[in-house]
Amino acid sequence: MNMQPVILSGGTGTRLWPVSRENYPKQLLPLLGERSLLQDTALRLQGIGSGTSAPIVVGNEEYRFIMAEQLRQLGIEHARLLLEPVGRNTAPALTLAALFSRIDEADPVLLVSPADHALGDSGRFREAVMRGFAAARDGAFVTFGVQPTRAETGYGYLRRGSSESGGDLFALDAFVEKPDAATAQGYLDSGEYLWNSGIFMLRASVWLRALEVLQPAMLGVCRLAMENSSHEGDFLRADRNTFAECPSDSIDYAVMEKLRANPHLGPAWIVPLAARWSDIGTWDALWEMPRRMPRAM
């Protein structure tokens, strides 16, 4: 197995203000126990398979020392910290990581996860990753959909199509934005929709090829920002002046929502994920967490 975890740690968590603030966002806080959300995420991604690499962590340069210290506390060695001089959302962040992972012509399967989400059952998460790994290795886009437990209006949804491999994989029919209450109830009743977890798995080359077609300006800026990057100890900083010109967009909007119209870029699959997931995006979600989720291991 050649898997490269990528942790996207650039969020600001402003919906949990005043605990989560711009200079100390939620992924760096111990909201669910003794460890921060970043630390829980790093441990969750560690050692999924025998060939899993140390993580690439993409985050704001202002948090670099906090991120490095939190990983050091876990004993995670050789993590690569890519620094964004300015925030440009998740698609450019993943692009920086994909370009970095392709040094020496490598082409790993990237397991991409936000740093500020929570999962209550890491064992089931790892099982889901293994179910989707072969498809990602063979060139597919893989995303993870959470079985909804309520008519939630605060999450995006995935509509699943026909199944493969005895129900391990489902065709990705559509991404759906946050619905109103009646629409969300319809999604729940239909059984065809899953919450969008924001977790993805795909080869680095597959992501970069998709950008060449769908977001060439973004790819060009990120390539130049990496070519002009600078090292500072254990950190690699994308060039500030170049990266500041990068379009800002999410992974969903930039690529994933456009795959149905561009089938030549590769198949797209959903792996159902039953692991008690939450993006901890509101105080209500955080209030529920200690009662229904053990600390992720």
pLDDT at 34 over 50: yes
Pairwise pLDDT comparison (233 vs 5), residue with the higher score: 5
Q: Distance between CA atoms of 9 and 30, rounded to whole angstroms? A: 15
pLDDT at 293 over 60: no
Per-residue pLDDT of 164-173, as tens digits, reads 767 789 999 9
Of 20-34, 56-70, 174-188, 213-227, which gets the smallest average pLDDT? 20-34
Mean pLDDT of the chain: 89
Per-residue pLDDT of 98-140, as tens digits, reads 999 998 889 999 999 999 898 888 899 999 999 999 999 999 9
Domain boundaries along the sequence of the chain: 3-288
Q: Distance between CA atoms of 88 and 204, rounded to whole angstroms? A: 19
Position 50 confidence tier, pLDDT thresholds 50, 70, 90: low
Position 18 confidence tier, pLDDT thresholds 50, 70, 90: very low
The CATH number of the structural domain formed by 3-288 is: 3.90.550.10
Per-residue pLDDT of 88-102, as tens digits, reads 999 999 999 999 999
Per-residue pLDDT of 142-152, as tens digits, reads 999 999 999 99
**What pLDDT is attached to residue 52?**
82
**What pLDDT is attached to residue 15?**
54
Position 290 confidence tier, pLDDT thresholds 50, 70, 90: very low
Pairwise pLDDT comparison (72 vs 16), residue with the higher score: 72
